[in-house]
Each structure stands twice: as structure tokens, then as C-alpha cells.
Structure 1
Amino acid sequence: MFEINENYLQLNESYLFSTIARRVEIFSAAHPEADVIRLGIGDVTLPLPPSVISAMHSAVDEMADKATFRGYGPEQGYSFLRDKIAEIDFRQRGVKISPDEIFVGDGSKSDTGNIGDILGEDNVVAITDPVYPVYLDTNIMRLGKSSKIVMLSCGEENGFLPEIPSQRMDVIYLCYPNNPTGTVMNRQQLKQWVDYALRNKSLILFDAAYEAFIRDEEIPRTIYEIEGATTCAIEFRSFSKNAGFTGLRCSYTVVPKTLITESVNGKEISINALWNRRQSTKFNGTPYIVQKAAEAVYSPGGQHEVGEMVAYYMRNAEIIRKGLAEKGWTIFGGENSPYIWLKCPNGMDSWTFFDRLLEECHIVGTPGIGFGTQGEGYFRLTAFNSYERTAEAVKRIKEWE
């Protein structure tokens, strides 16, 4: 009999958002008259920007012409996109990142999950709690529920930010602006983590998928704004939320060439070269049409349109924040993030609050316990629905007894 990866059996039976979808489906079937408003999963609702659509049409026409047709592209991404990313996302912010340090992918979920392929099984991996489930689940798939996975408690008492560990961690996952809590790290707080990684020769895996939603100029938009980070950090970015690419799938991972480690025999190893080898072996590249769409994001028109999209969602976040505050609820996030993290009222646990909000207000959110034990008693709402539906949801909550 062939064997399976038994670590998969240590995961919850279904992924958090699959569980939520099933519960909502059951409720909707029993109450077909209910007008359900979804503020749960972080999917966007605005259509793709005009500049992106135009670029995709042009790329489709190219694919229909023998002279301009493209088959397999470079696994790392086309230079026309990597060059734009390096220039606009980094160099214009005073950060020196070169195009060959950028790897275009098909989503941050894939990249943050796959990065473990190049990491050893003896690493002690630190993950914040609460946390985006993919970080924990993919490490359980690799390592099982072992002592090599350490959860860093992020509670209300510490502003949902992890404290610097007293012991050495080999790999640390950080996501800021944070999913699910919506919290951010200022420059000094992020510097403490970079300094910790440099002292301990640790690796930071920094998920910056929501950097476009940062409003405060004092908050770093990339970990590479911190001195020394290019020698200890990998950064993940996505077009999903800021440009509406949840259905297109496009992201990129930054692996600086100055990020070096040693093999067991003491040989210096380039992490950039290692990730390049992994991608060349297991990934055939993001489609040309999608990469042309992403390139359009960096055009003057695209930058304006994406900025308007982000502002639209942040207006929704402000509506939610203001409404819940007027309700008297305790809230976090929503100022530099599209996520609002709230304390369940009246001491309710997360799933009880989920059920009551669905049954009595016909609103879907995400129970905090789904993000880890420290999420119990909290709840996440997203700003990605339409303005009208968001306003209606807040109205229902404010009128809720």
C-alpha cells in the first residue's frame, strides 16, 4: 500500500473559509428570502481598472497573431513587469531592489506556502497568533504539529503585535498590515525584528500584500526600508487587493541577492539562486496576458485607477470603524488596512457571534478563532464589498439589539 503525507491528517478537516461558505450555504437554503451581505472572505468587488482591461485586450490580440504569439515565458517573470516593479515599488521609495531579485508568481498564497520548499526541516519556525491560516497549515504539512512550530501570542494587551522572542527562532512569519487584525508595525517596531534577525542569523518572511492600504507615511511600505533587511528578509507582494486581481492571480516575491546562508558543510548558499531553482523546476510562470495586465497597473493611468480603488475600499473601512465605534464595540485596524478586527460583544465566543450575526443581521464575517487560539472572542470584517452594501451592513448592526 502506498503511503500518504500523514501531516495532512493533522490539519482541520476543512479550510476556514470553506467552513464558512458551507455554513452560509446551509443558512441561505433554509432562508431563501434573506438578503445576505458578505463581509467575510477578503475578495474584492470592484471590476478591473480600465487600463488593465485595455492591456489584456491588447495581449489577447498579440496571442492571436503568429508574429507576436508567446508560449512558455520566463519562470521568473517577463522583464517588462519586473523592471516596472523594481522602479516604481522600490527605487522610487529609495530602496535598491533589482529586477532579477523579483519573481512574478500567481498569488501570495502560493508563494508564502511554497517558500517552505527551500527551507530545512530542522528550522524552528515562529508564526504569529492570530494568523493568516496558510502560514501555519503549510508548515504543519511539512513538519507536522511539532515543537519546531512556535506560536507568538498577539493579544489585545500587546496591540496584537508579537513580542521579540527571548530564544532564537530560525524563520519568522510577519504580515503587516496584518491579516486578520488590521494592525501595522511602525518603523521602530519593524527595526527591532530586523535587528533580531541579524543578531540570530534568522530569516524573516514578510507578507506585504496589503501595503497599498497604508495611509500613514510613517509606516514602512516595505521591510527593505529598514537597514539590513536585504540580508535577512524575503518579501511577498500581491496585485489581488489593490488592483482587483483575485480572479487573475498575480503576485511577486522579492529575494535579495544579499540574502545568504550556509549549507551543513559550511558552503555559502544564495537564497535567490535557490528560489530561482525551485521556481524553474515547479512553476511554468504567470501567463503573459496576466503579466501585461499587471504591467498596466504601473502606467500613470493605472496608478491613478488603482489609487481610486484603494481609496474606495478604505472609505468602506472608515464606515465600518465609525459605525462599530458608535455602537460601542471595541475595534482595531481599518485605518491602514482593509480589515476591521472587533471584540465580540457581551463576551460571546467567535462562532456564536458568527451565527448570531448571520441569523439576526444576515451578515457574514470571519470568526477570530479561525485564525488561531488568540483570535477567540474576536471577529474580522472586511471592507471589500460595495459602498452601498457596506453601509447597509453597518446600518443593520447599529440597529441590532
Structure 2
Amino acid sequence: MLKPNTRYGDLKEAYLFNTIYRKTNEYLISNAGKKVFRMGVGDVSLPLCPAVIQALHAAVEDQGRAATFHGYMPEAGDPALRKAIAEHYRDGGVEMDEHEIFVSSGACDDLGDILELFERDNSVMVIEPAYPEYVDTNLLAGRRIIHLSSNEEKGFLPEPCEEARADILYICSPNNPTGAAFSRSGLQAWVDFANEIGAVILFDAAYEIFIEDKEIPHSIYELEGADRCAIEICSLSKTAGFTGTRVGYTVVPRNLIRGGMNLNEMWARNRETRTNGVSYILQKGALAVFTPEGQRQIRDNLRIYKENAACFMRALEAAGIWYTGGKNAPYLWMKCPDGMSGWGFFDYLLKEIQVVGIPGEGFGACGRGYFRFSAFGNPEETKEAANRLYHLLERG
């Protein structure tokens, strides 16, 4: 008799961001004519840069000619793209073998698939507040999850401790949702801890391009010993606006060995089984990101998102509200006023100023009383939303 995965019953009734969409749409139905400023879900608003568009068009033309047509792509990615990514790491001071890089259809997919490298009886540590997928994917697999709470006192950047001891350690820096980013010494402590206990770090580096401070690593492989304990998962979604184009990459070092098995070789074999490769067209678009012109153009867009973040930072500072993030990350994590819960503040903002953000409770219990804003919105709408937020907070 077939047995369904009953652990689906342990998930929340709806995925966090779908709940936000639903509540926002219900408000619009009841308030016809109102304009809502969506500063919550972290989807980008600027189009793909010209270098990428040109490469995508050229790749489409390639597919229309027998001499340049491409069918299945290599499971681990186009060799030219893997080489370009390796060179990008080297430009940042990290030596990287292109065979340690695996092109994917996005970080979200690899965050789930990478767990196939580990037995289900491995334990998992998730620093909360956290991106919901870290918890949901492991909940569905039946793994024991250690919820390591972080707090305002330490800037939502906890240190390794006995309670964090697990087989798999999730670290996201700059963090989603808090925007907090580990310093070099802070992240080194986690690398040392992982090597000491034999754990593997799953390092989510989706937002590294937003880092400004020199003391904050862009890659975990900048740190001593990280190639022996860490897998780095990266995305072009926020880096280059690929949320609708879907390309990312995962780095599995050749030095990463557990139980006598080489995780790089295991992941290569996994890719042979689980994927036929990312499409030729999309990989050609991604390759353009790593050209000098592509890098210049995506950083032009980045400056716009950073100014969006600065708008919210100015509003919160003027209103005397505690927050983290914004400078080195595209997210701002604010403390709700007057002891409000995150969901209470969500309803308050929607009703009073038609601004949508994300309640902190959606990212774990320790997010109660906090709220996340995204800097990926339309610039003019972001300015208006930040202005409305300031005046609302000012009048109390």
C-alpha cells in the first residue's frame, strides 16, 4: 500500500510568501482603487542588463542554425561558464578549480538537492531567523533540526556554541531576512567549529555582491580551512536580475571529504543522475554577466538597489527605530514599534499607508516583533514607501 510523506502535515499551512500575496490581494479586493507599495518579497524590479540581453538573443539565433545548435548541455555546466566563474573567484582573491563549480537552475533548487549528499539521520542546525526553505526541506526529509536563535543583542550574528553542534550547519551571510553579515573573524569561528566537529557548512552567498565593508568576506573560501568543510551556494537572481531567468552555481571543493567519500565527486555523480543541464541559452546569458561589460552593467543596477536601501535606512534612523542590514545587504530588519508583533505591524502598515513588508515571525519564532523590508522595489515607489513609513512612525 502506497504511503505518502506524512511530514507534509508538519509544514505550515501555506508558504510564507504565498501568505503575503494572499493577504495583499484580499486587501486590494476590499479597497478598490488603492495602490499598494510592495516592499516585501525579494523579487527584482530592474530588467536584465544589455550585455545579458544581447547574449541571450545571440544564443537564440545559435539554436536556429544547424552549425551552432546545442542540445543537452553538460550536467555540471558549460565549461566556458565554469571557467569564467572560477576566474571571477580568483579576481576576488580565492583560488578556485573550475571543476569545483557546478552550474544550476538557481540557488533555491540546489539548496534542496544538495541534501541528497547526506543521510537523513544527519542533524541540521539552522540559525534563525532564517529563509524558510532551510527548515522546510529538512522537515520533509525527516531530519532533526536544531533551531539556533539569534537576537538583537548580538546583531543577529550568533557565535558557535554547544547548542549549535550538528552535522549540517546552515549559514547565510549577508543574511536573509536580517541583512546582518558576519565579519571575517565571526565567520572564521564557524569554519573552525565545523572542522572541529566534522560538520559541513551549507553557505548561502546569494547576496554577497551587496557587501561594502572590507572586513566582511564575499566568499567563505576566503577563510582558512573552509575548503575542508563548506559548500557555497550562489545565485544570479539578485546579483544580475535572474529571478525569472534562473541560473546559479554551487561550489563543492575537492578537499571536502567526509566518511572517506569525496563530496565533489558525489555531487558530480548526483548531477549526472538528477539533471540534463541548464539550457544553452540561459548559460550564454549568465556568461555575459562575468564579462567586464556585464560586471559594469550589473553594478549600475546594484547602485539603484543600494539607494533604495538607503531610503529605508534614512527613514528608520530619522524615526529612531532599531534595525540591521541595508548597508551590506538588500534587506532591512527593523524592530516593530510599541511592542507590536510582525503580523500586527503588517496589518497596520497595509491599512494605514498601503506598504507591504514581511513579518519576522515568518522566519522563525525569534523573529516575533521584527519586520523585513526589501530594497528590490521600483525606485520611485521605494522613496514613496519609505516616506510614508517615516511619517507613520513619527506620529506614532
Q: What does residue 317 of structure 1 align with?
A: 309
Residues 168-317 of structure 1 mapped to structure 2, 5 A cutoff: 168-262=165-259, 268-317=260-309
Q: What does residue 53 of structure 2 align with?
A: 53
Matches of 1:116 and 1:81, distance apart in 2? 24
Structure 1 segments unaligned to the other structure (5+ residues): 263-267
For 1:85, the aligned partner's letter is: I
Does the residue aligned with 2:174 lie in a helix, a strand or coil? coil
Contact 1:152 1:163 in 2 (8 A): no
Matches of 2:65 and 2:46, distance apart in 1? 31
Q: What does residue 160 of structure 1 align with?
A: 156
Matches of 1:97 and 1:335, distance apart in 2? 28
Q: What does residue 41 of structure 2 align with?
A: 41
Matches of 2:291 and 2:200, distance apart in 1? 33
Contact 2:231 2:250 in 1 (8 A): yes
Contact 2:43 2:376 in 1 (8 A): yes
Contact 1:341 1:380 in 2 (8 A): yes
Residues 56-135 of structure 1 mapped to structure 2, 5 A cutoff: 56-88=56-88, 90-135=89-134
Q: What does residue 326 of structure 1 align with?
A: 318
Matches of 1:8 and 1:282, distance apart in 2? 23
Q: What does residue 365 of structure 2 align with?
A: 373
CA RMSD, Structure 1 to Structure 2 (Å): 1.0
Stretch deviating more after TM superposition (148-157 or 228-237) = 148-157
Matches of 1:31 and 1:275, distance apart in 2? 50
Matches of 2:326 and 2:304, distance apart in 1? 13
Offset of residue 359 of structure 1 = 1.1
Contact 1:125 1:171 in 2 (8 A): yes
Offset of residue 162 of structure 1 = 2.1
Matches of 2:38 and 2:123, distance apart in 1? 37
The percent identity for this pair of structures is 47
Offset of residue 276 of structure 1 = 1.3
Does the residue aligned with 1:205 lie in a helix, a strand or coil? strand
Contact 2:360 2:371 in 1 (8 A): yes
Offset of residue 60 of structure 1 = 0.3
Does the residue aligned with 1:357 lie in a helix, a strand or coil? helix
Cα deviation per residue 1:204-232 (whole Å; 9 max; x = unaligned)? 00000000000112211100000110010
Stretch deviating more after TM superposition (54-63 or 192-201) = 192-201
Matches of 1:162 and 1:117, distance apart in 2? 27
Offset of residue 163 of structure 1 = 2.4
Offset of residue 94 of structure 1 = 2.1
For 1:311, the aligned partner's letter is: R
Q: What does residue 358 of structure 1 align with?
A: 350
Stretch deviating more after TM superposition (112-121 or 239-248) = 112-121
Does the residue aligned with 2:243 lie in a helix, a strand or coil? coil
Contact 2:169 2:199 in 1 (8 A): yes
Contact 2:159 2:189 in 1 (8 A): no
Cα deviation per residue 1:275-307 (whole Å; 9 max; x = unaligned)? 111111111211111110010011111010011
Cα deviation per residue 1:87-110 (whole Å; 9 max; x = unaligned)? 01x111221111110000011111
Matches of 2:269 and 2:85, distance apart in 1? 21
Does the residue aligned with 1:174 lie in a helix, a strand or coil? strand
Does the residue aligned with 1:246 lie in a helix, a strand or coil? helix
Cα deviation per residue 1:94-135 (whole Å; 9 max; x = unaligned)? 211111100000111111121111111221210011000000
Contact 2:355 2:385 in 1 (8 A): yes
Contact 2:234 2:249 in 1 (8 A): yes
Contact 2:101 2:249 in 1 (8 A): yes
For 1:125, the aligned partner's letter is: V
Matches of 1:293 and 1:229, distance apart in 2? 30
Offset of residue 336 of structure 1 = 0.1
Does the residue aligned with 1:241 lie in a helix, a strand or coil? helix
Q: Which runs of 4+ in 1 moved over 4 A?
A: none
Structure 2 segments unaligned to the other structure (5+ residues): none
Cα deviation per residue 1:348-373 (whole Å; 9 max; x = unaligned)? 00111001101111011000000000
For 2:174, the aligned partner's letter is: P
For 2:36, the aligned partner's letter is: V
Q: What does residue 265 of structure 1 align with?
A: none
Matches of 1:195 and 1:289, distance apart in 2? 40
Matches of 1:165 and 1:109, distance apart in 2? 28
Matches of 1:72 and 1:318, distance apart in 2? 44
